[in-house]
Amino acid sequence: MALLLRGGRVVDPSVGLDEVCDVLIRDGLVVEVGVGLTMPKGEEVDCTGMVVMPGLVDAHTHLREPGREDEETVASGTRAAAAGGFTAVCAMPNTEPVADEGAAVRFLLEKAETEGAVRVHVIGAITAKQEGRALAEIGDMASEGAVAFSDDGHGVADAGTMRLAMDYIKRFGVPVVSHCEDTALAGRGVVNEGVVSTRLGLPGWPAAAEEVQVARDIRLAQLTGCPLHLAHLSTAGSVALVRDAKSRGLGVTCEVTPHHLFLDEDDITAAYDTNMKMNPPLRTAEDTAGLLAGLLDGTVDCIATDHAPHAAHEKALEFELAPFGTTGLETALALVATHVVAAGTADWPQVAQWMAHGPRAALGLPEVRIEPGAVADITIVDPAQEWVVEPGGFVSKSRNSAFLGRTLTGRARDVLIGGYFALRSGKVVV
Amino acid sequence: MLSNKHILGMDDLSADDIARILETAESFAEVNTRRIKKLPTLRGLTVVNLFLEPSTRTRTSFEIAAKRLSADAINFSASASATVKGESLRDTAATLAAMSCDLVVVRHKYAGAPRMLAEMMDCSVVNGGDGIHEHPTQALLDLYTMKRALGRLEGLRVGIVGDISHSRVAGSLVPALRKVGATPVVIAPPTLLPSRPDVLGAEVAWDLDEQLASLDVAYMLRVQMERADGMPFPSLREYARFYGMNAARLAKMKPEAIVMHPGPMNRGVEISADVADGDRSLVLTQVESGVAVRMAVMYLLLGGADSGVAA
Amino acid sequence: MSGSGKAKAVVLDDVAIDRALTRIAHELLEANKGAEGLALAGIVTRGAVLAQRLATRIKEIEGTEVPVGTLDISFYRDDVATRLNPEVHRTDLPFDPDGRCVVLVDDVLFTGRTIRAAMDALMDYGRPSCVRLAVLVDRGHRELPIRADYVGKNVPTSSREQIKVRLLETDGEDTVLILGEDGEE
């Protein structure tokens, strides 16, 4: 069957496209892009005023299945992804049990096949049980389709272990995704060490705890030749290290999250809102400025959500006891639309780069383009829609958003995966 | 009668509130010298001491204060409570709220817990110490003690010596001193200072000896011997050598200057035995003041909002 | 009741206040058969002033110093939970009430609740052999079975009216006023 996306602003920087035109889709593929297209038979979708872009990918998602199905499942997490405009997510391995063997990867991919609303890529663990000691069954997982390896949630404390892992992983041609946290420096820290830790009497997690591992892992990437992707960078200093590495031609990529871009430590008030408790923690205004500058100059490759759903009763604990993280799939695109596009800092082609092409390139995922012959994974955004982030409005099973109460401008209207709607007129339809 | 229904931190108290609490405490101090130390003032009201971290001294002080005001004081402590069985603070708060108490004093291992309680309960909440954050009634009793000893607060230079970064006492005392026009000076090795001491609003010094001559009060903090993550200095002996109050250091201070300590003291570490027991140490006065100040806090929080004209 | 407020009227002027206190001092001494064993406890703030003046009168009459103290009854009120005294003063009784005849002194006797609180406060300091009550003005409307032993002047009032006692030491003049029903001065 054919689908004609009529009259949207079609944006794809990978093919130099940014114009109001039509996109014709047939049998799951883009077949024609141009003005005044016609089709003998099929459905026409009015995209006037919309932005039509390559489908977004989240490089950093916690689906919580298996183990914490009360917080999120493959079914609910992928539906939340569709609602947020994503056509694919990359599932992190810190589940219960940890995805550290081929069977776990296969389980997730099969689950996604039958229950998923968007595509799911699986990231396997670097070390067994993510304990930072023995290597996980990396080859087994790679054979089952793991796209990258990460001990996300923990830094790999021992440099020798990290070096070993990178040396081993490089033959599979996939990147290591590094969660940079030197636990000896971060300690029991729950907020940025500095003003906020002093003000609220909370243990601090200094910027240096991230930066020393960023520096270490860049050196190890150089030593081993293994591609390195740095997860959720939170400090301007980390971005500077990546900028330097890239200038030296190293195979290093990195991501930043919407919460580190659009929130800072001053958002953690005497209310001790645990939805503001992140790992790495919210940093200073100078850091958020540094992250944005990194995106704009290309040092930062992509925006990833680090979607971290948590049970309400666990987020309701004391700040120091509550788990880290915020949900992000359903707010990421809207936050970027509001604070970057509507604010005039960047335009939609850059958003497509950061949220569609950047993550695919960083993790070696199949490219998606809006050109004849390409798979029709497409996100259609209403850039003018105003909406309020409300606890009752989430598709995700969890509501622990750091952005509750915010009014945002811009929201995904439709998501097409292989030519089929996963989101249509703002409703998840699979 | 105070600006806020709760005392969760010094931010909840204005300079006027502090003055009123200290004045009211003077009247209660008089009561505490009587043969019959009990007042009928808060008869019929219930004060819950929710101590989810052990602290016999503070709990006892609040308990005596409540009992001297004829309130029913109920101790709900960690060892006896369900919290050890994993009941969340919110569940505990809901349970207490259902029992309709009038004031909850909470001591908790984690910063911000008193605010969580305050949000969940209709009654007043007093922070009896939360994590490494604040301990406002300790700061109030310290102000009271300084004022009684030195006759004023404004213009005093108060050196707070020791583990500033892990001290809820310093967390409240520094802003309290600023509110009453005194100058707090935090004195510690860099490893015991918060990463941004400038945020505290105190002067910062690494060298105690350089400060001695200018101080009106030397406030010695307790060295926490039970720290899990190791001592942030080489040895107790070395700590005492650089930061311990002793007769030689006391001799370098102004003749009227006083020494204070929130207790319990490690004699021979942050304070030598002769200074601790000497006539310039106000350690016991602090304990005594604690009851009067906590009585004043309870009285002013539980008294009606409508001030009325005396009949 | 706005607009219907009565003009204020002087109930006692400075001469009358002086005369009343002198008479009360005489009555006290007569009833006690001298100043022996007598002590005065003034209720803050104006009762304390009046107690001081009575002591001075007694000294003038008998040549004896009678111990005088002040009682703050804030902590003994029966309505703390709904109404709080904005200012708490110190109680200062420089004598042991045990075995003495303690005279409570206040400016106005109204519902009697203040006196009830004052008696409770006094009892916490000791066990007087007897307690008497002296007031400058008794305006009626008692809510408790309390009666003054010595009264400067009985002033019948409506419960909506206010009695205002102003004394030299606290207010710069000696006068007792009755204020209109809406309390306007």
Domain B10-134+290-302: assigned CATH number: 3.40.50.1370
DSSP code at position A168: H
CB proximity list for A205: less than 8 A, separation 6 or greater? A181, A186, A187, A189, A190, A191, A192, A193, A279, A280, A281
- Which chains neighbour C (Cβ–Cβ under 8 Å, 3 or more pairs)? B
Q: What is the pLDDT of residue C84?
A: 67
Distance CA A45, CA B47 (A): 66
Q: Where in chain A is the domain with CATH 3.20.20.140?
A: 55-363
**Residue A195 contacts B where some CB pair is shorter than 8 Å:** yes
pLDDT at B94: 86
CB contact under 8 A, B111 and A202: yes
Residue C50 lies in a domain: yes
The pair of structure tokens assigned to A241 is 């290290």
**Which CATH number applies to A2-52+373-428: 3.40.640.10, 1.10.287.1770, 3.40.30.10, 2.30.40.10?**
2.30.40.10
Q: Note the maximum CA span of chain A.
A: 68
Interchain proximity A200–B89, CB inside 8 Å? no
Q: Which of residues 90-149 of C touch B (CB under 8 A)?
A: 90-92, 110-111, 113-114, 120, 124-126
Cβ-defined contact of B194 to A197 (cutoff 8 Å): yes
What's the CATH number for A55-363? 3.20.20.140
Contact A270 B115 (CB under 8 A): yes
Interchain contact C/A (3 or more Cβ pairs less than 8 Å): no
ipTM value for the complex: 0.88
Chains near B (3 or more Cβ pairs under 8 Å): A, C
C7 domain-assigned = no
Q: What pLDDT shows up at residue A139? A: 97
Average pLDDT, chain C: 90
Instruction: Provide the domain limits for residue C48.
Output: 21-79+88-179
Distance from CA of C98 to the nearest CA of B (A): 12
Residue B1 touches partner C, C-beta closer than 8 Å: yes
User: H or E segment at A159?
Assistant: helix A159-169
pLDDT band, very low/low/confident/very high, at C184 (cuts 50, 70, 90): very low
Of B30, B35, B311, the CB nearest to C111: B311
- The reply to whether residue C110 touches residue B311, judged by beta carbons under 8 angstroms, is yes
Candidate list A22, A100, A217, A306, residue with the active-site label:
A306
Q: How confident is the model at residue C42 (pLDDT cuts 50, 70, 90)?
A: very high
- What CATH class is the domain B136-287? alpha beta
H runs (alpha helix) in B51-128: 56-68, 89-98, 113-120
Give yes or no for a contact between A124 and A99, defined as CB atoms under 8 angstroms apart.
Answer: yes
A275 in reach of chain B (CB within 8 A): no
Contacts of B69 in chain C (CB under 8 A): 75
Burial of C5 (0-12, 13-18, 19+ CB in 10 A): middle
Q: Do B112 and A198 touch (CB under 8 A)?
A: no
Query: Backbone dihedral region of C137: left (phi > 0), alpha (psi from -120 to 50 degrees) or beta?
Result: beta
A152 counts as catalytic: no
- pTM of this structure: 0.88
pLDDT tens digits in sequence order for chain B, 311 residues long: 799 999 999 999 999 999 999 999 998 998 888 888 999 999 989 999 999 888 889 999 999 999 999 999 998 876 544 454 456 888 888 888 888 899 999 999 999 999 999 998 899 999 999 999 999 999 999 999 999 999 999 999 999 999 999 999 999 999 999 999 999 999 999 999 998 888 889 999 999 999 999 999 999 999 987 765 678 899 999 999 999 999 999 999 999 999 999 999 999 999 999 999 999 999 999 999 999 999 999 999 998 543 333 33
Question: Minimal CA–CA distance to A123: which of A379, A366, A364?
Answer: A364
Whether C157 contacts chain B with CB within 8 A: no
pLDDT in tens, A292-314: 999 999 999 999 999 999 999 99
Distance between B11 CA and the closest CA of chain A, angstroms: 10
Q: How many C-beta neighbours within 10 Å does residue C127 have?
A: 11
Digit-coded pLDDT (tens) for A177-221: 999 999 999 999 999 999 999 999 999 999 999 999 999 999 999
Q: Give the pLDDT score at B296.
A: 96
Q: What is the separation, in whole angstroms, between the first and last Cα of chain C?
A: 15
Question: Which of B195, B198, B227 best tests the A interface by mutation, with the highest count of A CBs <10 A?
Answer: B195
pLDDT tens digit sequence for C45-75:
899 999 999 999 999 999 999 999 999 998 8
Task: Name the residue facing C83 among B27, B36, B307 (closest C-beta).
Answer: B307
CATH value at residue C34 = 3.40.50.2020
Among all residues of chain C, which has the CA nearest to that of B36?
A: C124
Chain-chain contact of B88 with A271 (C-beta, under 8 angstroms):
no
pLDDT above 90: residue C78: no
Residues of A in contact with B194 (CB under 8 A): 197-198, 204
Instruction: Give me the number of domains chain C comprises.
Output: 1
Mean pLDDT of C78-95: 78
Chain B nearest-CA residue for C43: B310
Residue B298 forms contact with C (CB below 8 Å): no
In a domain, C10, yes or no: no
| B246-B249-B254-B258 Cα dihedral, nearest 10 degrees | -30
- For B196, name the nearest residue in chain A, comparing CA atoms only: A194
The shortest CB-CB distance from A321 to any of B110, B132, B134 is to B110
Contacts of A313 in chain B (CB under 8 A): 88, 90
Q: In chain B, which residues fall in CATH 3.40.50.1370?
A: 10-134+290-302, 136-287
A156: closest CA among A171, A135, A138, A172? A135
C28 is a domain residue = yes
Helix B56-68, helix B136-150: angle, nearest 10: 70
A42 phi and psi angles, rounded to 5 deg: 150, -170
Angle between helices A74-83 and A102-115 (to 10 degrees): 60
The answer to whether the CB atoms of B194 and A321 lie below 8 A apart is no
The answer to whether the beta carbons of residues A277 and A316 sit under 8 Å apart is no
Instruction: Return the residue of B nearest to A184 by Cα.
Output: B229
In this prediction, the residues of chain A whose per-residue pLDDT falls under 70 are: none
Distance, in Å, from the CA atom of A284 to the CA atom of A300, rounded to the nearest integer, reads 18
